[in-house]
């Protein structure tokens, strides 16, 4: 469980990290995040001498297309997230990650044709009601939260059906984005607008460290997913958006009251219904398994 707690705790602290880079354009931060993630992951793969999977993946066009799609979704998610954090919209990003499990359930129903149980439908309808409330009350869609939840949900859907593990998958995603990343860095250097070259030493260090800062939580998550039940992992994932919400409200004094608080409360109710239903089914199945073993 320590792997999961460490992973979600680190993800919850991301706003603090990227706020330190607020003087650098969000797109540039993501370009460097992709580049340094590739450098770090390539180092890990070289250390472990773990390259055989790459040759196999290169011979499977469907795998490459799937990971190109997931790489684009991940890059888009990162770009919006970093931009929102540095625009004072941390609370909106936390709403997106609170909504993400419910979006994943809905995507499973729409795309994978999974059957939803009654309480899962209730949770999804509550979430849709919260979005409608926030839209009417504030006069606009909570688009940041919806795009973050949607891109992360679609990314999770693609990775769920992928044939590679966390380390290999993220390595392939960053590798597929590398030509575009190098092109952008080359153009910026030619124009003498390279953010890394003109940044202070502290910012340069933070940009370089964005590689391991990105990759390490994902590797911790992969370890946790193999060691603890998915029901427990699902509950622990709320550590991240909770920390992000507290960061936005307590540290950066973002507004959180009135209509916004009501919308969040309905989302939390939906998550409580969703989590309780999942836990009940888990313990029921475990009890039935124990009864069979005893017999």
Share of the chain above pLDDT 70, in %: 92
Q: Taking residues 204-220, what's their average pLDDT?
A: 90
Q: Are 69 and 173 in contact (CB under 8 A)?
A: no
What the block records as the tokens of 139 is 């006069």
Distance CA 119, CA 132 (A): 20
Q: Are 124 and 102 in contact (CB under 8 A)?
A: yes
Mean pLDDT lowest among 194-198, 235-239, 251-255: 235-239
Q: Taking residues 198-207, what's their average pLDDT?
A: 90
Helix axes 118-138, 90-110, angle to 10 degrees: 140
Q: Taking residues 29-39, what's their average pLDDT?
A: 93
pLDDT (0 to 100) of residue 221: 78
Asked if residue 194 has pLDDT above 90, the reply is no
What the block records as the tokens of 223 is 């370890």
Asked if residue 292 has pLDDT above 60, the reply is no
Q: Taking residues 48-75, what's their average pLDDT?
A: 90
| 151 C-beta neighbours (distance < 10 Å), count | 23
The radius of gyration of the chain from alpha carbons, rounded to an integer in Å, stands at: 20
Q: Residue 275, exposed/middle/buried by CB under 10 A (0-12, 13-18, 19+)?
A: middle
Instruction: Name which residue leads in pLDDT, 231 or 61.
Output: 61
Question: pLDDT, tens digit, for every residue of 147-172?
Answer: 999 998 888 888 777 778 878 888 99
Write down the domain spans for the chain.
2-289
Residue 13: φ, ψ to 5°: -90, 0
Distance CA 243, CA 8 (A): 9
Q: Taking residues 134-155, what's their average pLDDT?
A: 87
Give this prediction's pTM: 0.86
CA pseudo-torsion sign 271, 276, 281, 282: positive
pLDDT (0 to 100) of residue 234: 66
Three-class secondary structure assignment of 36-103? HHHHHHHHHHHHHCCCHHHHHHHCCHHHHHHHHHHHHHHHHHHHHHHHHHHCCCHHHHHHHHHHHHHH
Distance CA 150, CA 153 (A): 5
Q: Taking residues 230-244, what's their average pLDDT?
A: 77
Q: Taking residues 132-143, what's their average pLDDT?
A: 83
Q: Which long-range contacts (CB under 8 A, 24 or more apart) does 72-79 make?
A: 73/151, 73/152, 73/154, 73/155, 73/158, 74/151, 74/155, 74/173, 75/30, 75/34, 75/177, 76/147, 76/151, 77/148, 77/151, 77/152, 77/155, 78/30, 78/33, 78/34, 79/26, 79/27, 79/30
Asked if residue 224 has pLDDT above 80, the reply is no
Report how far apart the first and last C-alpha atoms of the chain are (Å, whole number).
Answer: 31
Highest mean pLDDT among 47-61, 67-81, 248-262, 271-285: 67-81
pLDDT (0 to 100) of residue 176: 93
Highest mean pLDDT among 147-156, 176-185, 284-293: 176-185
Backbone conformation region of residue 139, classed left if phi is above 0, alpha if psi is from -120 to 50, else beta:
left
Helix axes 258-294, 118-138, angle to 10 degrees: 170
Asked if residue 286 has pLDDT above 80, the reply is no
């Amino acid at each position: 469980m320590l792997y999961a707690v460490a992973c979600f705790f680190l993800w919850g602290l991301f706003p603090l990290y990227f706020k330190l880079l607020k003087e650098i354009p969000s797109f540039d931060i993501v370009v460097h995040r992709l580049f340094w993630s590739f450098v770090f992951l390539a180092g890990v793969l070289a250390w472990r001498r773990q390259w055989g999977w790459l040759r196999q993946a290169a011979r499977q066009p469907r795998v490459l297309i799937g990971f190109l799609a997931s790489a684009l979704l991940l890059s888009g998610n990162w770009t919006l997230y970093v931009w929102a954090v540095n625009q004072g919209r941390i609370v909106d990003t936390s709403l997106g990650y609170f909504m993400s499990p419910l979006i994943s359930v809905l995507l499973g129903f729409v795309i994978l044709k999974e059957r939803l149980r009654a309480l899962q439908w209730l949770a999804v309808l509550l979430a849709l009601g919260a979005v409608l409330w926030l839209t009417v009350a504030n006069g606009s869609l909570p688009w940041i939260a919806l795009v973050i939840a949607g891109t992360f949900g679609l990314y999770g859907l693609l990775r769920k059906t992928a044939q590679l593990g966390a380390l290999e998958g993220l390595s392939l995603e960053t590798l597929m984005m590398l030509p575009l990343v190098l092109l952008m860095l080359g153009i910026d250097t030619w124009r003498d607008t390279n953010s890394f070259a003109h940044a202070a030493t502290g910012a340069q260090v933070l940009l370089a460290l964005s590689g391991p800062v990105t990759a390490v939580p994902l590797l911790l998550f992969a370890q946790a997913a193999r060691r603890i039940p998915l029901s427990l992992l699902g509950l622990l994932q709320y550590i991240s958006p909770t920390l992000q919400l507290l960061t936005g409200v307590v540290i950066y004094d973002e507004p959180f009251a009135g209509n916004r608080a009501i919308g969040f409360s309905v989302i939390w109710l939906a998550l409580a219904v969703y989590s309780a239903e999942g836990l009940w089914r888990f313990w029921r199945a475990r009890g039935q398994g124990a009864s069979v073993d005893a017999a």
